[in-house]
Amino acid sequence: MNLKKIAIIPARSGSKGLPNKNILMLLGKPLIAYTIEAAIDSKLFERIIVSTDSLEYKEIAEQYGAEVMMRSEELASDTATSFMVIEDILQKVSNFDYFMLLQPTSPFRNSQHIQKAVKIFEQSKFANFLVSVSESEKSSDLIKPIDDDLSLKYFDIDFSNYRRQNKKEYTPNGAIFIGRNKEFLDKKHFFGADSIAYFMDKIDSVDIDDKIDFELAICIQSQKNKKELLSNSIKNRIAEKSKNMNLMLPITLIGHSIFDHWAVASINGQKVNNLGIAGISSQEYLDLILEPDLISHLGQKVVLFAGTNDIVLDDWSPDLTLQAIENIVNKLLMIKSDVQIYLLSIPPVRGRIDRSNSVITQLNCYLKDNINYLSNVYWIELSSAFYDQFGNLPADFTYDGLHFTENAYQQLELELKGIL
């Protein structure tokens, strides 16, 4: 049964903590646009209604594809509750089974979150309501009031022996609320035994209330935009190197930026075709280069550098990198059946927040233990020269904790000379 639903987006203009926060520009778009676009992209709603008291908000909301219902003066006041705003919409709209409340202060709740929440709600046998939640950073034991006397009398726990509870605690994150019409009008809120939780992670749960929240949102959105820019950069770099894909040279380098940034013409007097692509992951190399058959010729020897860009991906695990490498190898063997493939271990990093040496070590061990069954593949362990006394990439081997300096490239060439 296809249940009909509407989206309600409340957008009052009178925010005092952060004036006009609902239409502040978050890297090129008004804040409210993120919520409207998420609702539209979900393709789930009969109507997407913005409730506002502002003609400026109305114009912006309609520009991004929402329907607008103007509030009365009473509903535009500081004393108006969310129930009163929702009730106003429910009294004006009919012929739907339930509604979803989407607050515009949650810009990272996207269409996938909406779709998953709807699926959970509609599959529930008891729920009249759904509320999105995220894991609380602080235990409720640590959250107490403080009176005007500034005494910590309510904090009556010996914190020197405090241990966080084994049971996780959660807090509503303000991103998604679902309610059946009659039940909501009767209860006047979304919580209780007939309400079900939808879990969201910390980043997607950012709820903008003040300037610090907004600056955090700018940082997060900048990272999301960076991913899109990186994707475009990878595609452009592939296009730039397309003329090299059919070169017949003795050695072929395949991998990511550590190869791409290496100005190497030959190793042991053998000419090198450098097909490294900065920023690319193992799966992307397969999807964007090998599956479309862009490479037509390989050297007798292929050096493969893979994995360091995999570990920063969401939901990554070592077996995903292994599977991608296996598929890469199979494609290389289809191009040249007797090719010799040398898979280099992943070098450590130095002081990077996005990559951990413990994870790199785990991946190297996993790959080393599992590539033996792959035809024509040889595992090459980078020497101790790539590790300082603490297991980091040496300071003179890197300029940013990840990419190589000329010293590192000289050592890499020295080691490959002994192999190739």
Q: Is the pLDDT of residue 153 over 80?
A: yes
Reply yes or no on whether the pLDDT at 322 is more than 80: yes
Residues 279 and 353 in one domain: yes
Has residue 148 been placed in a domain? no
Same domain? For 331 and 372 the reply is: yes
- Does one domain contain both 210 and 342? no
- Please say whether the beta carbons of 291 and 340 come within 8 A: no
Question: Stretch 72-100: mean pLDDT, rounded?
Answer: 89
Give the model's pLDDT for residue 4: 94
Q: Are residues 351 and 312 in the same domain?
A: yes
Cβ(177)–Cβ(106) under 8 Å? Answer: no
Q: Is the pLDDT of residue 167 over 90?
A: no
Contact status, residue 49 vs residue 8, Cβ threshold 8 Å? yes
Kindly state whether residue 276 falls inside one of the protein's structural domains: yes
Last residue of a domain, one of 178, 194, 223: 223
CATH code, domain carrying 251: 3.40.50.1110
Pick the last residue of a domain from 223, 256, 290. Answer: 223
Given a cut of 90, whether residue 372 has pLDDT beyond it is no
- The yes-or-no verdict on residue 35 having pLDDT over 70 is yes
Output the six-digit token pair for 32: 């409210």
Q: Is residue 201 part of a domain?
A: yes
Do 305 and 267 belong to one domain? yes
Of 301, 317, 309, 324, nearest to 380 by C-alpha is: 301
What does the pLDDT read at residue 164?
A: 63
74 found inside a domain: yes
The pTM score is 0.72
For the residues 153-158, what does the mean pLDDT come to?
82
Together in a domain, 217 and 107 = yes
Q: Which of 49, 48, 205, 183 is nearest to 129 (CA)?
A: 183
Identify the domain containing residue 43 by its residue range. 5-136+167-223
The predicted structure's pLDDT at residue 79: 77
Domain count, the chain: 2
Asked whether residue 53 is assigned to any structural domain, the reply reads yes
Buried b (16+ CB within 10 A) or exposed e, 125-138: eebbbbbbbbeeee
Do 180 and 294 belong to one domain? no
Structural domain contains residue 234? no
Q: What sign for the dihedral angle of Cα 395, 322, 420, 243? A: negative
Helices (H), 30-140: 31-42, 55-63, 82-92, 111-123
**CATH number for the domain including 186?**
3.90.550.10
Q: pLDDT grade, residue 163 (50/70/90)?
A: low
Question: 336 and 343 in contact (C-beta within 8 Å)?
Answer: no
Q: What are the C-alpha distances in Å from 29 to residues 40, 207, 220, 414?
A: 16, 17, 14, 51
Same domain, 194 and 296: no
Residues 211 and 257 both lie in one domain: no
Asked if 361 contacts 393 with a C-beta cutoff of 8 angstroms, the reply is no
Q: How many CA atoms lie within 13 A of 78 on its CB side?
A: 3
pLDDT for residue 37? 97
Nearest Cα to Cα of residue 283 among 307, 259, 305, 261: 307
149 located within any domain: no
The answer to whether residues 319 and 385 belong to one domain is: yes
On whether both 31 and 72 belong to a single domain, the answer is yes
Domain membership flag for residue 210: yes
Residues 206 and 249 in one domain: no
